Structure 1
Amino acid sequence: MGICPRGLEESGRVINRKCEGLPLAIVIAAGLVKNSLSVAWWEQIASSLRSFMVSDPRQYLDSLALSYNHLPSRLRPCFLFFGAFPEDYEVSVTKLTWLWIAQGFIHETRSRMLEDVAEDFLMDLIKRSLLMTQRIKSDGQVKTCRIHDLLHDFCLRKAEEEIFLSNNYRYGMLSSMLCFPLELGKSLKEGGSIHIDKYKFLKILDLESILISVFPLDAVHMVNLRYLAVQVHDGSPHASISKLINLQMLIISSKKNIVVPKTIWNIFNLRHLYIKSGENLMEDGCPSPGALASLQTLSQVRPRSCHDIFSRTPNLKKLGFCGPLISSLGDLEFPNLGALGHLQKLKLLNTFPYAESTRSCNPIMFPEKLKKLTTSNTGIDWKEMWTFAWLPNLEVLKLKFQACVGERWETGDAEFRKLKVLKLHV
C-alpha cells in the first residue's frame, strides 16, 4: 500500500468525504487523481469533484445502468423517485415511504402493512449503497436519507428515458419536491385557485413548504389525490373533504387550532392523519363500521374528543394527544387505550396547568405492545413512574419539559426490562 504525500493529505480527505462512500464515486475520483501528484490538481478536484464527475457522463452512466438493471423490478420506481427531490435533499423516511405508497409503488405482501413493506424496500436500497442514511433516530432506526449527486443525475436521466411518472413531469414535479406541483404552489400562495381539469389526475399535492391562508377548498375535487400536505394559517378542513375517497395521507400544519370534521371518517382509505401543531378537536360523531380500519397515525388531537374513535381503529400504530391530560383531582387522564393492540408510539402533551405534582394512571390504560412513550408538561411525581416501569415492551421513554417533578427518582432492578433509550429534558 502506498503512502499519500503529506501535501496531498488534506485534499485527499476532502475528496474522500465528497465521495460519501459511493463505490462508483470513489473509482471515478481515483481515476482523476491517480496520474498526477500535483497539489494544485488535487485541490482543484477537491473543490469541484462533482463537476468533474458529471462532465463526462460516459464514465459513470454505464456502471450505474448496470446496477440499476440488476435491481428487482419492485425497487426501480422507488429508486428513480429520488429524482423528484432537489440535489442533496435530505428526506424524511416517513415522508418518503408515504409518498412511495401514494404513488402506488408498494403492494401488500400477504398480511403485511404497506408501510412495513416500504421500510424493507428502503433498507434494501441502503444495503445496495444506493441510499445514504443522514440521521438516525434514538432507537437506531433511519430518520432521514438522501442519494449521492451522481445517483441523482442518473435518476433524472433514466426517469426521462423511461418516461417515468410522465404526468408528474408535465406538472413540473422534478423542479422541486419541496413544493409539488411548483406552479400550483405559487398560485395558491398568491391567492389563486386550483384548475381542476389540469390537476384532476394528480395523486400527490404537497404544499408544506409554503404558507397559505385557508385550507384549499378546491382540492376536494381532486378525487385521485392520495397524499395531501398543507401549511395553512387556518387549517380546518371543510366537511366536503370526504369527497377525497382515495386519500391515504393527510398532513396539516396550522397556525390555529383546527377542527377535524366528522365526515373525514368517510374516507375509508385514510391511513395517516398527521396534524403537526396545535391542540385540535375531533368533531363529535361516531364513525360507521369499518371506516377507520386503515388508520395508523393520529396526532395532536384533544383526548376528550376521541372517545368514540379507538374502538374502531384496530391498526392504529402512532397516537399523539395534545390537550388537558390532568383531572381536577390531579390524575393523569386520557381515554383507555388498552384495546389498541397494535399501538407502538404514544405522545402525551398536557396543556392543563396543575399547581402540584400529579399522579399517574393505571397501567391497563396503556396497550401491551407500546414501544415508545413521550410525555411533556404532565408534572408527574417521580414516585408515580412505576406505571411506566412495568410496561412490558417499552423501549424508548422521552420525558420532556416538566414531564416529571421532584428531587429524586428511585428505580428497582426489575423495572424497565426492555428499555433501550431514556431521554430526559431538564
Structure 2
Amino acid sequence: MIALIGLNHKTAPLAVREKLFAGCQEESDLPVRLTAVCGIREAMFLSTCNRIEILTRIDGQEETLYKLRDFLAASGGLTPEEARDCLYLYCDENAVRHLFRVAASLDSLVMGETQILGQVKDAYRRALEKNSTGAVLNRLLHRAFRTAKRVRSETAIAVNPVSVSFAAVTLAKKIFGSLTGKEVLVIGAGEMAELTGMHLVANGISGIIIANRSQAQASVLAEKFHGRAVSLEALREALTEADIVISSTGASSYIVSADLIRQVHHQRKNRLLFLIDIAVPRDIDPQAGAVENVYLYNIDNLQDIVDENMNARKKEALKAEAIVEEEVKNYINWVKELDAVPTIVLLRNKVEEIVRLELVKAGSWMKDMNETERQKVEILINSIVNKLLHNPVTVLKEESSEFKSADIVALTRQLFRLDE
C-alpha cells in the first residue's frame, strides 16, 4: 500500500506548521527511522514552508497507518487535537493523485509556482542518499516529475510568474501604488530572497538592501541586484532606512523582535513601515505589528493576492488536472501489473519445466532426428506454449489494471498449483 500523511496551509494554521516544521527539522534521519518502523518498507520526507508530508510504501494493515500518524505527530510535538484536526491521510490511488498534484503545483498556496517541483526533487534526492526508497516509490517519484513536466509544457499554468515571493512584491505594490523611489530591505539570502529580489527589480524598485547572517552571501545577492549588503548586526540601521521589509530566512528564532521595531520607530520619525514575513518559522515577532505606523503581514495574509492571481489560471488548471488523472491511471496500472508479475513468471516457468521433462521422455524417438528436424520440433512446441499462455497472461495483466488482481492472481495460482 502507498500511504501519504501530512498537513499543509489548507489544513493547519501557521503556528501548527511552525511547530511540526521545527520538530521534524531536528530529525535528519527521518526517512531511515521511518523505514525502521514495522510495516514501513519505503519512505520519503517532504518539508516546505507550506507543507510537511511523509510518503511511504507500507504493508496494507490499518495498524501501520496509525503508527505512521503517531510517528509524525510525535516528531512535531502535536497535541492529539492538532493531529486529528490538521493531518490528512491518503492511500493508494488518492496518495498518488495528491503527490502528482503537489509536484505539478496544483496544490500549492500559489498554483503554478515553480519552487515546489525543485523541493520535491530535493526531498527525493535526500531519500536516495539515505536508501529509504525502493522500486515502487522510485517509479512513483519519476512519474510525479514527468507529470509536472507535462503540466508545464502542455498548459499555460505557469506563464505568469506567481509565487509567494511574487505575491509579497504584489502586496508591496498594492500598499504604495508604485515601488519607484522606495527602499526595500530583504532579510535572507536564500532561494526565496533571490526570487523576491528578481520580482522587486522587475517592478522598478529604486534601492535594495540584502541583510543576512553571512554578509559574504548577502554581498553575492546584492551585487546581482545592484544593491548593498549588510550583516544582521547592522539590521537596526537598515530598518531605519527601509520603507518595506520582506523577510525569508526561516530561522529558529525571531530575526526582528518587537523591541527592535519599537526602537527603530522613534528613529524613523513616524514614517510608515511595512513588514512582510514570508518565512516559516516566522522571522518577525507578531507583536511588531502592534507598533504605531507599522503594518505586519505574514504568509497567510497573502491568500487574497494569491486568490486574485489564481483566477486567470483556472482554465489551465482544468487541463492540468486531466493530465494528472491520466498519469495517475498509468501509474496505478503499473503497480497492479507489478502484483501479477510474480504469478506470470511462475506460470511460464512451470509450463516450460513440463515441456523440458516431456522432451527428455521423448529422447528415445527424437534421437533418430537430425539437428534440423529437432529444432523444428522445439520451435513447434515453444509456439504451442506461447499460444496457450497468451490468454492467461493477458487476462492477468488486464484484470490487474481493473482492480481485480487479488482474486484473479489467487485463482490462477490455484488452477495451475503454482504454490506447490
Question: TM-score w.r.t. structure 1 length?
Answer: 0.23
Bigger radius of gyration among the two: 2
Question: TM-score w.r.t. structure 2 length?
Answer: 0.23
Q: Which structure ranks higher in relative contact order (CA pairs < 8 Å, sequence separation ≥ 6)? A: 2
User: Higher strand proportion, which one?
Assistant: 1
